[in-house]
Amino acid sequence: MDAEQLMTRYRAYLLLERGMSENTRMAYMADVEKFAAWAAADEQCPSLLGVKEEHLQAFVASLHDVGICARSQARIISGLRSFYKFLRLESLIDTDPTALLESPKIGLHLPEVLTVEEIDAMEAAIDMGKAEGQRNRAIIETLYSCGLRVSELVNLPMSRVSLQDRALIVDGKGNKQRMVPMSESAVAEIQLYLSTRDVQPKRGEEDIMFLNRRGRRLTRVMVFYIIRDLAELAGIDRPISPHTLRHSFATHLLEGGANLRAIQMMLGHESISTTQIYLHTDTRQLRQEILEHHPRNRP
């Protein structure tokens, strides 16, 4: 079986067996294709089915040589582990060459977080005289108050939003549904947006909540630009993205005393270990509070 046939079967496995989103599937496929291209150019490397651990180690070393950072290397290795696990499950190989492959050590990356005042400043920076002004206010409140991923926001159906019950249902990673409560602010901003929305949805977009001026759903890139531009107008000089609002949602909940397991459910994290990064963020802020207010640290 050649590499192209393996890729076709692996792509179907990711979709049908793993239920991954399109973006995740593309990332996993890109990791394996990167390795397949490297292996094809190396005369000493056998076919993908004959790869040994030493070949994978040489590939990882090549990533380091071309300047790919440790975090990206770790992600690529994760993609290769998934691929060779698939080959093992399909009985196409007898042993998994990634079993003993080590990922590079990466430091803990604490997410950027906005203060409530900075989020308010971003909303205040919106030009409400423009047609998209109220839509953008609703977008910020929905991202922040519900902790949505940008992909969940742009694909949010109106039929999954209950303003009366103040809750919405989203399809998260792996097509897993979860219900998220909505804040009063998010409900109010969405109500205003829907009452003033005057665009005609294109065919197939009739149930989509957030539309552009041509009646189509927004792209993730478009939302990124909206958030970035508003942050700049609000005087925020740090790199800000839609995901920053999601991080802020989780961090503010934790600071307010919310249970970590409840935050995990609202974020749609499969593992509690993913949510635990916000404990580190909270600890960092606690340390700063101690340094500022403890009597032994005062001049």
**Domain coordinates in residue numbering, the chain:** 3-89, 116-291
Least confident of 27-31, 169-173, 244-248: 169-173
The arrangement of secondary structure in 116-291, i.e. its CATH architecture, is Orthogonal Bundle (1.10)
Q: How far apart are CA 136 and CA 242, in angstroms?
A: 12
| pLDDT at residue 118, as a whole number | 95
Q: Which residues form the catalytic set?
A: 149, 173, 243, 246, 269, 278
The predicted-structure confidence for 92-141, as pLDDT tens digits, reads as follows 999 999 988 887 766 555 568 899 999 999 999 999 999 999 999 999 99
Q: Which CATH number fits domain 3-89: 1.10.150, 2.60.40, 1.10.10, 1.10.3470?
A: 1.10.150
| pLDDT at residue 110, as a whole number | 57
Mean pLDDT of 153-177: 88
Return the ∠ at Cα 219 (arms to 273 and 207), rounded to 5°: 95
Query: What type of residue sits at position 215?
Result: G
280 band by pLDDT with thresholds 50, 70 and 90: low
Q: Which residue has the higher pLDDT, 64 or 223?
A: 223
Least confident of 13-17, 83-87, 129-133, 294-298: 294-298
- pTM here is 0.61
